[in-house]
Structure 1
Amino acid sequence: MTTSLSSAALDQLFCEARTHNAFAREPVPEATLRHLYSVMKWGPTSMNCQPARLVFVTSAKGKARLAPALSPANLDKTLAAPVTVIVAIDTRFYEHLPTMFPAYDAKPTFAGNAELAASTAARNGTLQGAYLILAARALGLDCGPMSGFDAGKLNAEFFPDGRYQANFLCNLGVGDRAALHPRGPRLTFEEACEIA
């Protein structure tokens, strides 16, 4: 077992981290986004399938393309955020398995089973989205993940060939702590867990 992270690190990742709805007008450099991906990509996925695909929307033109798909409650905060990440999944992730998972030929397992491919992509792509949030927090960025958008409109605009499918959105930047809502409670161990 490796050494446990410090309390300060755990606070930054989990205990004191918050979901942000407002951000400072401080841009996030492309180098930071590249570093973010270089960290998050190491999180485990089944058979190293890595189905997540990310679109970092940073420009006014990109935000204008995104805006029609956003719910009214998410429109203003998303347009104002320095970065909005479209966390999508590659429905044909298995085409990369011969390289990503050379242990044996797993590609036919998914290529011939659309239901298995879809559930594997959804599960592991969501897992990678969580790694994105943790990696962003580890690098000092604040996050505002959300699901309030019209997936059909977003997919038609950003992924018209249908191969990629939007999963969720996540705003990134330097959060405005003054705009935070009171923190919601969490379930206790007894409410959420059991040891069998």
Structure 2
Amino acid sequence: MRPPISPESVKQLFTHARSYHHWTNQPVTQDTLEAIYELMKWGPTSVNSMPARLLFVRSEAEKEKLVPCVLGSNIEQIRTAPVTVIVAFDECFFAYSKRLFPAYDATALFANDSRLSEATAFRNSSLQGAYMMFAARALGLDVCPMSGFDNALVNQRFFQGTTWKSNFICTLGYGDESKLYPRGPRLSFEESCRIV
């Protein structure tokens, strides 16, 4: 039986963590991005499908390519964050099924059922995107996921001619605590949960 993680770790990952909209100038290195992936890849997915694909947008030119895809205040956040991650999924994720889940080759199951394949890719890439955010927080970074953007335009500008499709985007870096908004409330256990 494993012990709980430390209260300080719980604070860093959950209770004191915030979504940041303003960023310091501290860069995010390639080594750090690789370390985030090396942690997030261990999160569970259905039949170990691992459909998520990450596009780390760091250069000014690529940020400007992304700007017309986002709405409102997200524009400035894209421009100022050290990195914006486009969390995508590979429509043909099942090409790796035999390798990733040797206990059962699910390739044909997904290849022959586009509805199942799409639902699996979207659901599990969403999970992996959440793992990515917690991996970043575990390594001392801050994040801000967002859905205020045009998926079709992101796909056209970044994934044209590929089997990747965007799920959501997330800015990533070291947040400027002096510009945090007051923390929003959360629903209570009684409002959100049932035990049957």
Would you call these one fold, judging by a TM-score over 0.5?
Answer: yes
Q: Is the 8 A contact 1:145 1:170 kept in 2?
A: yes
Cα distance in 2, alignment partners of residues 44 and 14 from structure 1:
19
User: Following the alignment from structure 2 to structure 1, what is the Cα–Cα distance between the partners of residues 27 and 105?
Assistant: 43
SS at match of 1:165: strand
Count the aligned residue pairs.
196
Equivalent residue, structure 2, for 1:175: 175
Structure 2 equivalent of residue 70 of structure 1: 70
Match of 1:84, SS? strand
Q: Distance in 1 between matches of 2:98 and 2:142?
A: 36
Letter of the structure 2 residue corresponding to residue 21 of structure 1 = H
Aligned amino acid, residue 110 of structure 2? F
Q: Which runs of 5+ in 2 are unaligned?
A: none
The runs of 4+ residues in structure 1 deviating greater than 3 Å are none
Alignment RMSD, CA only? 0.8
The letter of the residue matching 1:130 is A
Matches within 5 A, 1:92-171: 92-171=92-171
1:86 aligned partner: 86
Q: Under a length normalisation based on structure 2, what TM-score does the superposition of the two structures give?
A: 0.98
The TM-score, its normalising length taken from structure 1, stands at 0.98
Q: In the alignment, which residue of structure 2 is the partner of 1:39?
A: 39
Instruction: Kindly provide the amino acid, as one letter, of the partner of residue 45 in structure 1.
Output: T
**Per the alignment, in what secondary structure is the counterpart of residue 21 of structure 1?**
coil
Deviations along 1:9-52, one digit per CA (max 9) or x if unpaired, are: 00000000000000001110110000110010000001000000
SS of corresponding position for 2:73 = helix
Q: Which residue of 1 aligns with 2:14?
A: 14
Please give the alpha-carbon distance, in whole angstroms, between the structure 2 residues aligned to 1:104 and 1:49. Answer: 12
Contact 1:155 1:162 in 2 (8 A): no
Q: Deviations over 1:60-88 (max 9, x none)?
A: 11111111111122001111000000000
Whichever residue aligns with residue 189 of structure 1, its letter is: F
Unaligned residue ranges in structure 1 (runs of 5+) = none
User: For residue 54 of structure 1, what is the aligned residue in structure 2?
Assistant: 54
Q: What secondary structure is seen at the aligned counterpart in 1 of 2:108?
A: helix
